Amino acid sequence: MGRSDITSSATAAGALEEEAYRLIRSALINGDFTPDSKLSIRGVCAALSLSPMPVRAALRRLVNERALDAKPSGTAVVPRMTRREFSELTAMRLQLEPLALTLAAPHLKPAQFERLDAFVAQHEAARLASDPTGVRQADTGFLFELYRSSGSALLLSFIESLWLRRSPMFWEARWALLGSSLGRAPHRHKEIMDALRQGQPDLARDFLVEEIRNAGEFLLEAMRFREATDW
């Protein structure tokens, strides 16, 4: 095999690893897994139609990023946070996500307002239909439409890192959250949109802070957390 063949092979392998990493990471952010889910190489390969080598490398990267845990057997597992870890994650979300909204507000165009409105309508329809998958998709779509509009790739990467740990917990609690959507942990997306249209980004930020804080407090009571000594 010549040098060009080796280089081509390495490039192809790197592309497959990146694809596997992107797909698994996106699934975690979108809430496709719950805490304690096991991600076997065979299962992931079957789901993504990829060969074992890039999947193994992608899982290793996500373990290194602490998006996944590795059991002594080598199995990758979606982590269940301790109560303290979840509180810390919520505290970090309360700093970074409102900042992204504030940075995004001056850059929102009519087309983005239309997409955001569509997510609000999708969320309401899914809530009325008791459809947690639709609620999850609308929630993620709405918030990341805003966060991407901040124009800060670095800030977005930090938020995505938090959501790698946040989303599995929220998906496990989907029925509790759906039942609380008019009570203790309501969404404030419509209020956020009204404030942004009225040129009041600080008010929109306050609504987002309220939403994140209320959901965090609700889940601290509703969720089962890992004890600090568990493994």
Give the model's confidence band at 11: pLDDT under 50 very low, under 70 low, under 90 confident, else very high: low
- What's the token pair of residue 9? 């092979």
Q: What tokens appear for 91 in the block?
A: 């505290």
Supply the pTM of this predicted model: 0.88
Q: Which tens digit of pLDDT belongs to each residue from 56-103? A: 999 999 999 999 999 887 789 999 999 999 999 999 999 999 999 999
* 6 confidence band (pLDDT: 50, 70, 90): very low
From the CB of residue 118, how many other CB atoms can be counted at a distance below 10 Å? 14
Res 231 pLDDT > 60: no
What's the pLDDT score for residue 109? 96
- Residue 37, pLDDT > 80, answer yes
pLDDT band at 181 (very low <50, low <70, confident <90, very high): low
